[in-house]
Chains A and B, each alone.
Chain A
Amino acid sequence: MNDDYQYDNQTVKGFIVSSIFWGVAGILIGLWISVQLWKPEWNVPPFFTYGRLRVVHTNGLTFGLGVGAIFGISYYIVMRLAKTPLLFPKLARFHLYLFNIAIALAAVSLFAGMNQSLEYAELEWPLDIGVVILWVIFAVNIFGTIIRRKEEQMYISLWYIIATVVAVAILYIVNNLSVPSGLFKSYSVFAGVNSANVQWWYGHNAVGFVFTTPILAMFYYFLPKSTGIPIFSHRLSIISFWSLVFAYLWTGAHHLVYTPLPDWIQTLAIVFTVFLIAPSWGSVVNGFYTAGADWPKAQANYLTKFFILGITFYGLQTVQGPTQGLRVVSQLIHYTDWVPGHVHMGTMGWVTMTVAASIYYVIPKICKTDIYSIGIANTHFYLVLIGQLIFSITMWITGIQQGALSKAVNPDGSLKYAMVEIIAKNYPYWQMRTLGGVIFTIGMLFFIYNIYMTIRKGKALAVSNA
């Protein structure tokens, strides 16, 4: 029985290692661009200017770290919940190779400036086709395995994985529709206001179906697994699943508040945005009560704090997000550094935290050993936490300052600050953000070292057992 999984486990491990690799690359570029903002000499034209690197950062982490981990860990979860190995093991291995080739080409193409200028859909059309193929392979294997499952009921995590696959397919294909002009350039089939609406329908749901639903799948699977406590409420998870999946798609226009997009679309989006608090908090409450059901037991496991803090940041994120969508708040913080503060609480505090904890769970299982060091994992935890808090808090402060200063007027009604004066005031905060980033990165290095040593330990064990 165990041997059936051996090959697939190696594929899962391959995805995890690749995701960590691209994650480190993306994070280092994040540090680089964070320095460029206060030290423009760090721009190296033409390939390494801020305008090009920022896209490598966002894509590297969303698709390299995020999607890589999602592919690998979803395979792991699906096999366990279906109680059967993957239906197409070789295809999954091919998937892994193709994934790495695609990410490498994506990075090169973005350095070279091939860019559709659609946030989170920057890749040019040949790579878009590659991305679609990757998701199709994933879908075939996931659905095939689920259909052939040996366990009748599909657990919550499978719902989220299925919804992810379905949503990403629709979103990605529609938003990338374009007219190519040569291999390296294309123009969107959508124009103007309409293209803005399509893009943010996509953009918000990229966050929804890459940084939310698959991460929730991990959360719902690994929290009960690592604590040994079953999920608090099945009924609550049903309600929050369907209402989340339903409501997310209405909200894209909260990214376009006060733009020329027709008002009714903005207002409708804002209403659903506020509603989204409910299904999001359904999962938060479910998580808290699960761990709370037997706190001493939950606390005994070192991973619980990762999951609980992760879901707490998710909870904060999903209150902050809807607040940002309101017109009175948007007019102040939209376009400012407040938004990167929001983004990184989600990506560092919720996504990376939950993914790292899931990897801590999966890798020892696959390597048939224990984690190398809980002490190092704890150090990792506190460093990324501190790093992230510094990042988000400094950006919230300077974001509000930017918003307020650009509105400030003199007694006679003229503007008080020129744009350049406002920019100059950001420098100390941008420098502190880099400091936060460095601390976060050191934390991640502890994580990687721990995983590396665990894999080594597993190999040594395997040799001595043979």
Chain B
Amino acid sequence: MAGLHEKLHTRPVTFAVLSAVVILIGTIVTMFYPMLTPQMHPKLENLKPYTPLQLAGRDIYQREGCNNCHTQTVRPLKTEVMRYGEYSKAGEFAYDRPFLWGSKRTGPDLARIGGKYPDAWHSMHFEDPRAFFAESNMPSYGFLNKRKLDAGDVVSHMKALGFPYTSDEINALDGKTEMDAIVAYMQVIGIAAAKKPAIAEAARAEDKNPLSGKPEAVAEGKDLYAANCAVCHGSDGEGGIGPDLTDNVWLYKEGDMGDGALHNIIANGTQPGREIEGGKAKGGMPPFGAQMDKNKIWALIAYIRSIHGK
């Protein structure tokens, strides 16, 4: 072998050709060959190409380098699925050119962000992340509100990708801002494969709050509320993105709601169309069951009861 090599390194061209061959072997087996097989081009049946507004949002995501802080793939690990939702499927990304999985989670994964929050939450969060979480290091993106989309660009991008669109969709871009676009993109990420979270009835409807009225529980609930709920329900429960928690209307129905039912709403959140005591949910309330144990939720309920009618 050494002898062969002695000859080889007097012949630069042969040497270069041989290096190319050696380099191409692994390249062919792990990269070119798989590309020719269907397993690299899966597509979920209900996956749709991006609409013009969503694509504009995705372009902004790329432009702002959001992928430098956010991943878009949930690994099939137990705690990761609890934290973010259903793990990512190969068929979810067929329209992603390129993929935006990222390699660093300075912020949370966004693979299941679609539908997690109401639109208003997103635009307020983009404007000032620290108004929501004092210790967030996400940059503020308020300037997106001031920039209008350029329909011509969006059309040419849709064409480059070969995505279908209607003239109504293009006309609808008129007056839309970059903020509208990025929010629309957020709302579509991961929804094709997002399983409806298994609604584990965390409590039975007739359960009573074991911590009801206990002052320590109310105090703990107050802190939990300030950290997790105030952004949407207002600092004193007066409502905002989410409904008023001090009034007598619980999910569109006048009258009281049982402790057990409240517990379920907080643990599981509401998904649009879900049957809840009181009717069909409109959605927008995120689930907290994975991050809070039962007693924390009971403490929250104790606190909510304490502000009732104030």
A interface list, Cβ under 8 A from B: 36-38, 40, 43, 45-46, 49-52, 54-55, 113-119, 143, 146-147, 152-154, 158-159, 162-163, 165-167, 170, 179-182, 185-199, 201, 234-235, 238, 242, 245-253, 255-256, 258-262, 265, 268-269, 272, 331, 334-336, 339-340, 402, 406-412, 414-415, 418-420, 423-424, 427
Nearest CB of B to A427, in Å: 7
Nearest CB of A to B138, in Å: 7
Given contact pairs A143-B16, A158-B9, A242-B22, enumerate 15 new A-B contacts (beta carbons under 8 Å): A116-B98, A117-B100, A143-B12, A153-B10, A187-B161, A191-B93, A195-B97, A195-B98, A198-B35, A246-B26, A249-B26, A256-B101, A258-B75, A260-B92, A262-B34
Contact status B29-A117, CB under 8 Å = no
Contact status A258-B77, CB under 8 Å = yes
Enumerate chain A residues within 8 angstroms of B291, measured Cβ to Cβ. 414-415, 418
Contact status A260-B31, CB under 8 Å = no
Nearest CB of B to A172, in Å: 13
Least CB separation from B73: chain A residue: A259
Cα–Cα, bound, A146→B105 (Å)? 45
Contact status B93-A193, CB under 8 Å = yes
Enumerate chain B residues within 8 angstroms of A259, measured Cβ to Cβ. 73, 75, 88, 101
Cα–Cα, bound, A199→B93 (Å)? 15
Cα–Cα, bound, A260→B71 (Å)? 13
Nearest CB of B to A156, in Å: 9
Least CB separation from B12: chain A residue: A146
Contact status B13-A147, CB under 8 Å = yes
Enumerate chain A residues within 8 angstroms of B235, measured Cβ to Cβ. none
Least CB separation from B59: chain A residue: A185
Contact status A51-B31, CB under 8 Å = no
Cα–Cα, bound, A61→B297 (Å)? 49
**Known contacts A55-B68, A415-B291; A187 and B97 CB within 8 A of each other:** yes
**Known contacts A51-B66, A189-B97, A198-B31; A406 and B12 CB within 8 A of each other:** no
Enumerate chain B residues within 8 angstroms of A51, measured Cβ to Cβ. 64-69, 139
Contact status A414-B293, CB under 8 Å = yes
Contact status A194-B34, CB under 8 Å = yes
Number of B residues with CB within 8 Å of any CB on chain A: 90
**Known contacts A258-B76, A335-B105; A152 and B10 CB within 8 A of each other:** yes
CB-contact partner of B104 in A116, A152, A335, A411, under 8 A? A335
Contact status A331-B77, CB under 8 Å = yes
**Known contacts A40-B137, A45-B141, A423-B135; A250 and B15 CB within 8 A of each other:** no
Top 3 A-B pairs, shortest CB-CB distance: A51-B65, A249-B26, A192-B93
Interface residues of B in 148-178 (CB under 8 A from A): 153, 156-157, 159-161
Cα–Cα, bound, A379→B306 (Å)? 65
Contact status B12-A423, CB under 8 Å = no
Nearest CB of B to A106, in Å: 15
CB-contact partner of B105 in A152, A193, A251, A336, under 8 A? A336
Enumerate chain B residues within 8 angstroms of A406, measured Cβ to Cβ. 79-80, 83
Enumerate chain A residues within 8 angstroms of B16, measured Cβ to Cβ. 143, 162, 165-166
Enumerate chain A residues within 8 angstroms of B67, measured Cβ to Cβ. 51, 117
Enumerate chain A residues within 8 angstroms of B137, measured Cβ to Cβ. 36-38, 40, 50, 423
CB-contact partner of A423 in B34, B95, B136, under 8 A? B136
Contact status A245-B23, CB under 8 Å = yes
Contact status A412-B9, CB under 8 Å = no
Contact status A185-B157, CB under 8 Å = yes
CB-contact partner of A420 in B35, B71, B135, under 8 A? B135
